[in-house]
Amino acid sequence: MSEKKVNKIGILTSGGDAPGMNAAVRAVVRTGLYHGLEMFGIMRGYSGMIDDDIYQMDSRSVANIIQRGGTILKTARSKEFMEPEGRKKAYDNLRKRGIDGLVIIGGDGSFRGAQKFSNEFDIPCIGLPGTIDKDIAGSDFTIGFDTAVNTAVEAIDKIRDTADAHDRLFIVEVMGRDAGYIALHSGIATGAENILVPETKTDIDELINSLTEKEKRKKLVNLVVVAEGDEYGGANELATIIKKRLPQADTRVCILGHIQRGGSPTCLDRLIASRMGYHAVECLMNGKHNVMVGIVNNKMHYTPLDNAIKAKQTIMKEWLKIVKILAS
């Protein structure tokens, strides 16, 4: 691990975009400038590092972006960076400008790339968890998760209105890749009857029984929230099974899709992005290198990039129990 002083910091957003990334970029740039460092924006993640799409940033470069979704630095996935030749090209571009520290805002794949890059070229890297999926250990929240969940809640509330008007059974699919946190949080917050997540085995008989039971009791609205990564493959697949086993139910499907990625970040996402961005620069300056900056129990928490990569958060079984009780 390098302990040398950092003077020039490069910042990039990588992998899937998440609302709040801009707030993090702003925090990193302004904290660095406050300490008299030179700050550089790297466009389109690791691709921009390889293509030398890098520009110096001042305080005005990040003006008026805290409220904007997406990322002003753009984001991309780079196959070339997976190869040693690609990473060498990227390093040469950093060296040319004297960039001696990196802040990477992204998911576990981006951290994997950062760890490799840092091992090969002795450039300290700091990771900030930027993903709507919340599938990274070492932080209670990831940048973008809260916004995505709130978007899902707003949409599901609207679906509930029409489900209610027609006495329909709605199966709503939310994002999350192979993690069920968006489904769990948005499902509880919208009073879903059932929530299906990849972390737990789905008992289809139990699901059908509970839906049948509710039908008998003339429960007005039936809402099932399913994570896109559930073992049954999402809302369409689940609807096919339900329609076969419960043909009397008026079953409809709604896949929320990419609306969950966009939009203005919530207060919470702006706040954690600002705190994490500030501490990313502090880490680089204080020799705390190759860590992911997270927040646990409202305190800053530092996880070696290696561990942030490997571990996944555990789903709260108790929460699923609450769903069943509250939906009865």
By the criterion CB under 6 A, which residues form the site for ligand ADP?
Answer: 14-16, 46, 77-78, 81-82, 106-110, 112-113, 116, 131
Minimum gap (Å) between residue 273 Cβ and ligand ADP: 16
Cα–Cα distance for residue pair 262/144, rounded to 1 Å = 9
Instruction: State which residue, 310 or 324, has the beta carbon closest to ligand ADP.
Output: 310
Under 8 Å between Cβ of 2 and 125: no
Instruction: State which residue, 56 or 119, has the beta carbon closest to ligand ADP.
Output: 119
- Is 16 part of any known ligand binding site? yes
Instruction: State which residue, 110 or 139, has the beta carbon closest to ligand ADP.
Output: 110
Under 8 Å between Cβ of 256 and 225: no
CB-nearest residue to ligand ADP: 109
Residue 283: closest CA among 46, 125, 121: 125
- Is 126 part of any known ligand binding site? no
Alpha carbon separation from 129 to 17, 30, 223, 253 (Å, rounded): 11, 19, 31, 31
Instruction: State which residue, 160 or 261, has the beta carbon closest to ligand ADP.
Output: 261
Minimum gap (Å) between residue 53 Cβ and ligand ADP: 14
- Is 185 part of any known ligand binding site? no
Minimum gap (Å) between residue 86 Cβ and ligand ADP: 8
- Is 270 part of any known ligand binding site? no
Q: What DSSP string runs through 97-144?
A: HT--EEEEEE-HHHHHHHHHHHHHH---EEEEEB-TT---TT-S--BT
- Is 249 part of any known ligand binding site? no
- Is there a catalytic annotation at residue 203? no
Residue 15: closest CA among 328, 309, 252, 325: 309
Under 8 Å between Cβ of 192 and 155: no
Cα–Cα distance for residue pair 57/48, rounded to 1 Å = 15
- Is 77 part of any known ligand binding site? yes
Minimum gap (Å) between residue 122 Cβ and ligand ADP: 16
Residue 239: closest CA among 290, 170, 191: 170
Task: Considering the candidates 100, 133, 230, 269, report the single residue annotated as catalytic.
Answer: 133
Minimum gap (Å) between residue 51 Cβ and ligand ADP: 13
Instruction: State which residue, 107 or 176, has the beta carbon closest to ligand ADP.
Output: 107
Length of the chain: 328
- List, by residue number, the catalytic residues: 133
Binding-site residues from annotation for ATP: 16, 77-78, 107-110
Binding-site residues from annotation for substrate: 131-133, 168, 175-177, 228, 252, 258-261
Binding-site residues from annotation for ADP: 26-30, 160, 191-193, 217, 219-221
